[in-house]
Chains A and B, each alone.
Chain A
Amino acid sequence: MNWEVVIGLEIHTQLSTKSKLFSGAAVGFGAEPNTQTTLVDLGMPGALPVLNKEALRMAVMFGHAINAEIGMHSVFARKNYFYPDLPKGYQTSQMDHPIVGKGYLDVMLDDGSTSRIGITRAHLEEDAGKSLHEDFQGMTGIDLNRSSTPLLEIVSEPDIRSAKEAVAYVKMIHSIVTYLGICDGNMAEGSMRCDINLSLRPKGQEEYGTRTEIKNVNSFRFIEKAIYTEIERQADILEDGGRIIQETRLYDPDKNETRSMRSKEDANDYRYFPCPDLLPIELTQEYVDQIKANLPELPNQKAARFQEEYKLSEYDAGVLSASRAMADYFEQANESVKDAKLTANWVMGELSKLLNQEQLEITQSPVNAKAFGELLSRVQDNTINGKTAKDVLQAMWNDEGSADEIIEAKGLKQVTDTGAIEAMIQEILDANATQVEQYRSADPDKQKKMIGFFVGQVMKASQGKANPGIVNPILAKMLKG
């Protein structure tokens, strides 16, 4: 059977506020257990929540970025269930009236096509704490540092039809929230976690199949692999005439499989009701408009500007603008180079290669944008050629100094003195008389192929320092005789 996969994603994005959603406690990763808590996060009797206005502002920013209706009247609701790391016995979330309503994103795929993914809603909610099962001799330790950390849960429509599309969508969300500066985007620390709702249906069928939900997948790669694995599992069951059980599953990256966590029958009745400790949030049009007016440039806007301002191709502009850090690096480096195509090629090429080799983010690059720009300026002004520049970059990477210092110390400056080049060429022509003869008797097409040999000899003789731009015309002229 030819199956079509139907995917909807729920992305939990941790907002990068200084303090928690409902208390003044600091938000941070890796602090000693229970040191970043207040009465509110501990769920002490009589403690009351007070909404962090910064989280609200961030949610509205996101709403604008996905072309969404902003909830002018939104309501916090309690989601009731018992768990040791849920101190109040309920999670304060939003149900009927979320802060961000319907919106959408246009997501570009690798093949250059674009698909529009609907976003049902995005709502504010508080995170729970953590249960620690190791080191407590059969007991469970509770760390409430994460309790009440602000999350924006972004719920997509079931519009996604492939693993690739899912990853492109998550990357786009990642890109937007980091552009907006509302999330640090650090997936390894759990700043973005993804729940995948997935079902299969025979191609052409309108009705959805029974879905499963894969909880808490926290990397782009795992999202892709989890989807492939789950498609395969569901397809196997359906092909064998079985039926899919609606349930929550966990993805195990070590075994690359999903396994059942709990079925719908065990699902909690969360008994949602409006939180009586928090008044409904009423926004003014002025507030919403002001946030819109102050929105930073978004990825697609930046890509358009890169095409317009720097004359970059759609592809290059798309790659460079996908992350705000890379776009900023590119623009800062190009400030001194003033050759956008050259800078773009080097950022996307050599720099990205080195970063990938060492699994570094661009923000962790040992060569900063300004230093990188200086290096490219030396390529631009013909002080060194591209091949040499790669060596200089490697030396800069190893902290051997600035581009100019390394060029100077290693004597890598290109030879641009035409007299010296002429002399060098003459020596080569003299030493290769036979080849010169063959060249001179060949037709122009053949000559074009043969000239490479002489260029190679010049480069070899100059140890790569001869400027090809100067060598080529002189060589052509002297070969003519």
Chain B
Amino acid sequence: MFEQSISILAQKLRNKDFSSVELTRTFLDRIAKLDPQLNSYISISEDLALKQAKAADELLANGQGSSLTGIPVAHKDLFCTQGTLTTCGSKMLHNFVPPYESTVTQRIKEAGAVMLGKTNMDEFAMGSSNENSFYGAVKNPWNLDTVPGGSSGGSAAVVAAGLAVAATGTDTGGSIRQPASFCGITGLKPTYGRVSRFGMIAFASSLDQGGPMAKSAEDCAHLLQTMAGFDEKDSTSSETETEDYLTNLNTPLTGLKIGLPKEYFGDGLDSQVAETIMTAVKEFEKLGATVKEISLPNLQLSIPSYYVIAPSEASSNLSRFDGVRFGHRCEDPKDLLDMYMRTRAEGFGGEVQKRIMVGTYALSEGYYDAYYLKAQKIRRLIKNDFVAALSEVDVIMGPVAPTTAFAIGSKTDDPVAMYLEDIYTLSVNLAGIPAMSIPAGFVGDMPVGLQIMGNYFAEAKLLNVAHQFQQHTDWHLQTPTMAKGA
């Protein structure tokens, strides 16, 4: 039951093969049995889930509801959920119960989906391994000694392990795609502005974007259809019309022009990962696509640029966590400064503190031009690279990450190595284009993700390309052994 697609589950719910309450109960049981090994959920909302499932069953009985009605999903714990603890993986928000609902979770709720719980994540979405959570590291279902990727590691793990049909994630520099790649699932980072950021706890506002994480492109299409669209509560959300992401899935790929950026296949890329990617690309050729080499010459600059812009914005975005109105406050502050300093020192973990300091420094008087302004100029160059490339090809393909999932603890002492994890994903956020990670094969027992990047608002095209691949491969149907144990 847990391995089936949204389309099939929706059909079965309508056929009364089983009820949403039964389906939800199945997932809750699986979570109870398997999650202790994974630590993928921060909170499980059993009562709420069963209540929502019951309501969904009533809707379905009346012939109402959408394809998501009655489908159990999970939300990354940075989407504010009214009445449900929302921690952002931080001690700072260990007690924060929002009095409001994010637009993304609101839309999914209104579509009738059931919320199983909130997934673990790197604190404030800062990390590439999910080791930076106040609630502990998440384990990769394919190998419990390795990381699931980050920052949406919990969401990737729950989908891979069958602890939710699908999940929401957010991607600031690769936080949907890299964990999707490490956990062998499908994840989509939409165009900046496609999905409302209202109620998403901000990391770097000009880069953050919510998106779907699921087993297949088709499941992602179901979720995106609900999540995407203009929101008057988010000034940066786009008024561009959304497309029908489902009907476009079956368009044949004959004549599709694929660009392979040579910079994505250079030093640092694991040779077996490279081989897996090239095998996947050959599969597209079989489907009628043509492949050419392209260049994104400023790729190397994406890391320094990103690690100025994202921390700068974060240093400002995270100023509101001051102990005054919500969240953690230190015990017995002796004065205002003491309250600020101890609250923030106690509430934020090491990685978050480090990025706040980097960002504060980069925006300081006398350094702004050299860092922030220069980073913005590089950002423009990177965007121009993509615009030029995408005028020649329909989609760009490459690896998501240089390696498969690495061992827990293996990079925690080497921040530069950790930051290099994101070399292939950051530039997409800097440019604001959409990109996906889809399962493309394995190196040993560990999944490898193929990244597909497209033009602004070309989500339907990306989903179509991914879906066609998934119609001819079964990498996305593989299940980790631990998930079969329940």
Q: Which residues of A contact B325 (CB under 8 A)?
A: 42-44, 87, 142
Would you give the shortest CB distance from B92 to chain A, in whole angstroms? 9
CB–CB A142/B88 < 8 A: no
Q: Interface on chain A toward B: helix, strand, loop, or mixed SS?
A: loop
CB–CB A45/B96 < 8 A: yes
Partner of A87, one of B199, B324, B368: B324
Would you give the shortest CB distance from B359 to chain A, in whole angstroms? 9
CB–CB B363/A90 < 8 A: no
Would you give the shortest CB distance from A130 to chain B, in whole angstroms? 13
Q: Which residues of B contact A80 (CB under 8 A)?
A: 315-316, 319, 363
Encoded as 1 (CB less than 8 Å from any B CB) or 0, chain A from 271 to 299 comes to: 11100111100000000000000000000
A87 to B327, CA, bound (A): 13
16 new A-B pairs (CB below 8 Å) besides A46-B202, A88-B320, A277-B235?
Answer: A42-B325, A45-B321, A46-B80, A46-B198, A48-B234, A50-B233, A50-B234, A89-B318, A140-B336, A271-B360, A271-B364, A271-B365, A273-B316, A276-B205, A276-B236, A279-B236
Q: A45-B96, A80-B363, A277-B205 known; A50 and B316 CB under 8 Å? A: no
CB–CB B316/A78 < 8 A: yes
A42 to B80, CA, bound (A): 15
Q: Which residues of B contact A273 (CB under 8 A)?
A: 312-313, 316, 363, 368, 372
A8 to B382, CA, bound (A): 43
CB–CB B235/A278 < 8 A: yes
Q: A80-B363, A87-B320, A273-B312 known; A48 and B198 CB under 8 Å? A: yes
Give the most central of A44, A48, A90, A140: most B CB within 10 Å: A48
Which chain A residues in 87-111 approach chain B with CB under 8 Å? 87-90
Q: Which residues of A contact B206 (CB under 8 A)?
A: 276
Would you give the shortest CB distance from B387 to chain A, in whole angstroms? 19
A49 to B317, CA, bound (A): 13
A279 to B197, CA, bound (A): 14
A110 to B99, CA, bound (A): 57
Asked whether B110 is an interface residue with its Cβ less than 8 Å from the other chain, the reply is no
Asked whether A417 is an interface residue with its Cβ less than 8 Å from the other chain, the reply is no
Q: Which residues of A contact B233 (CB under 8 A)?
A: 48, 50
Would you give the shortest CB distance from A79 to chain B, in whole angstroms? 10
Encoded as 1 (CB less than 8 Å from any A CB) or 0, chain B from 91 to 104 comes to: 00100101110100
Give A34's nearest chain B residue, CB to CB.
B325
Partner of B320, one of A43, A48, A140, A278: A43
Asked whether A39 is an interface residue with its Cβ less than 8 Å from the other chain, the reply is yes
Q: Which residues of A contact B96 (CB under 8 A)?
A: 45
Q: Which residues of A contact B93 (CB under 8 A)?
A: 45
Asked whether A315 is an interface residue with its Cβ less than 8 Å from the other chain, the reply is no
Partner of B365, one of A46, A78, A142, A269: A269
Give the most central of B96, B324, B364: most A CB within 10 Å: B324
Encoded as 1 (CB less than 8 Å from any B CB) or 0, chain A from 137 to 154 comes to: 000101000000000000
Would you give the shortest CB distance from B344 to chain A, in whole angstroms? 10
8 tightest CB-CB pairs across the interface, nearest first? A89-B319, A276-B205, A271-B363, A276-B206, A46-B199, A45-B201, A43-B320, A46-B80
Asked whether A428 is an interface residue with its Cβ less than 8 Å from the other chain, the reply is no
CB–CB B316/A90 < 8 A: yes
Asked whether A208 is an interface residue with its Cβ less than 8 Å from the other chain, the reply is no
Partner of B322, one of A50, A82, A271: A82
Which chain A residues in 25-47 approach chain B with CB under 8 Å? 39, 42-47
Which chain B residues in 322-363 approach chain A with CB under 8 Å? 322, 324-326, 336, 340, 360, 363
Give A142's nearest chain B residue, CB to CB.
B324
Asked whether A362 is an interface residue with its Cβ less than 8 Å from the other chain, the reply is no
Q: Which residues of A contact B29 (CB under 8 A)?
A: none
Asked whether B200 is an interface residue with its Cβ less than 8 Å from the other chain, the reply is yes
Q: A87-B324, A88-B319, A277-B236 known; A45 and B365 CB under 8 Å? A: no
Q: Which residues of A contact B315 (CB under 8 A)?
A: 80, 271
Can you sample 28 A-B contacts with CB below 8 Å?
A39-B99, A39-B100, A43-B320, A43-B325, A44-B80, A44-B100, A45-B98, A45-B201, A46-B200, A47-B199, A50-B235, A80-B315, A82-B322, A90-B316, A90-B319, A142-B324, A271-B363, A271-B364, A271-B365, A272-B363, A273-B312, A273-B316, A273-B372, A276-B204, A276-B205, A276-B206, A277-B205, A277-B236
Q: Interface on chain B toward A: helix, strand, loop, or mixed SS?
A: loop
A78 to B363, CA, bound (A): 11
Asked whether B232 is an interface residue with its Cβ less than 8 Å from the other chain, the reply is yes
A479 to B158, CA, bound (A): 117
A306 to B409, CA, bound (A): 82
Give A24's nearest chain B residue, CB to CB.
B233
Q: Which residues of A contact B364 (CB under 8 A)?
A: 269, 271
Q: Which residues of A contact B78 (CB under 8 A)?
A: 46
Asked whether A51 is an interface residue with its Cβ less than 8 Å from the other chain, the reply is yes
Q: Which residues of B contact A269 (CB under 8 A)?
A: 364-365
Q: A43-B325, A46-B198, A273-B372 known; A84 and B336 CB under 8 Å? A: yes
Give the most central of A45, A49, A88, A89: most B CB within 10 Å: A45
Q: Which residues of B contact A44 (CB under 8 A)?
A: 80, 98-100, 325-326
Q: Which residues of B contact A82 (CB under 8 A)?
A: 319, 322, 340
Would you give the shortest CB distance from B165 to chain A, in whole angstroms? 25
CB–CB B319/A48 < 8 A: no
A residues with a Cβ closer than 8 A to B are 39, 42-51, 78, 80, 82, 84, 87-90, 140, 142, 269, 271-273, 276-279
Would you give the shortest CB distance from A141 to chain B, in whole angstroms? 11
CB–CB A46/B201 < 8 A: yes
Would you give the shortest CB distance from A205 to chain B, in whole angstroms? 29
Would you give the shortest CB distance from B151 to chain A, in whole angstroms? 16
Give the most central of A47, A82, A84, A273: most B CB within 10 Å: A273
Give the most central of A44, A78, A84, A88: most B CB within 10 Å: A44
Would you give the shortest CB distance from A93 to chain B, in whole angstroms? 13
CB–CB A45/B324 < 8 A: no
CB–CB A45/B320 < 8 A: yes
A146 to B320, CA, bound (A): 17
Give A89's nearest chain B residue, CB to CB.
B319
Would you give the shortest CB distance from B104 to chain A, in whole angstroms? 10
A327 to B340, CA, bound (A): 52
A78 to B319, CA, bound (A): 12
Would you give the shortest CB distance from A256 to chain B, in whole angstroms? 31
Q: Which residues of B contact A277 (CB under 8 A)?
A: 202, 205, 235-236
Q: Which residues of B contact A89 (CB under 8 A)?
A: 316, 318-320, 322
Q: Which residues of A contact B98 (CB under 8 A)?
A: 44-46
A277 to B231, CA, bound (A): 13
Q: Which residues of B contact A45 (CB under 8 A)?
A: 80, 86, 88, 93, 96, 98, 201-202, 320-321, 326
Q: Which residues of A contact B236 (CB under 8 A)?
A: 48, 276-279
Would you give the shortest CB distance from B309 to chain A, in whole angstroms? 9
CB–CB A48/B235 < 8 A: yes
Would you give the shortest CB distance from B283 to chain A, in whole angstroms? 39
Q: Which residues of B contact A46 (CB under 8 A)?
A: 78-80, 98, 100, 102, 197-202
Q: Which residues of B contact A276 (CB under 8 A)?
A: 204-206, 236, 313
Encoded as 1 (CB less than 8 Å from any A CB) or 0, chain B from 201 to 215 comes to: 110111000000000
Give B202's nearest chain A residue, CB to CB.
A46
Give B206's nearest chain A residue, CB to CB.
A276
Q: Which residues of A contact B202 (CB under 8 A)?
A: 45-46, 277
Would you give the shortest CB distance from B280 to chain A, in whole angstroms? 35
A309 to B62, CA, bound (A): 75
A80 to B319, CA, bound (A): 8
A47 to B320, CA, bound (A): 11
A39 to B324, CA, bound (A): 15
Would you give the shortest CB distance from A70 to chain B, in whole angstroms? 21
Would you give the shortest CB distance from A44 to chain B, in whole angstroms? 7
Q: Which residues of A contact B200 (CB under 8 A)?
A: 46
Would you give the shortest CB distance from A437 to chain B, in whole angstroms? 92
Q: Which residues of A contact B235 (CB under 8 A)?
A: 48-51, 277-279
Which chain B residues in 54-106 approach chain A with CB under 8 Å? 78-80, 86, 88, 93, 96, 98-100, 102
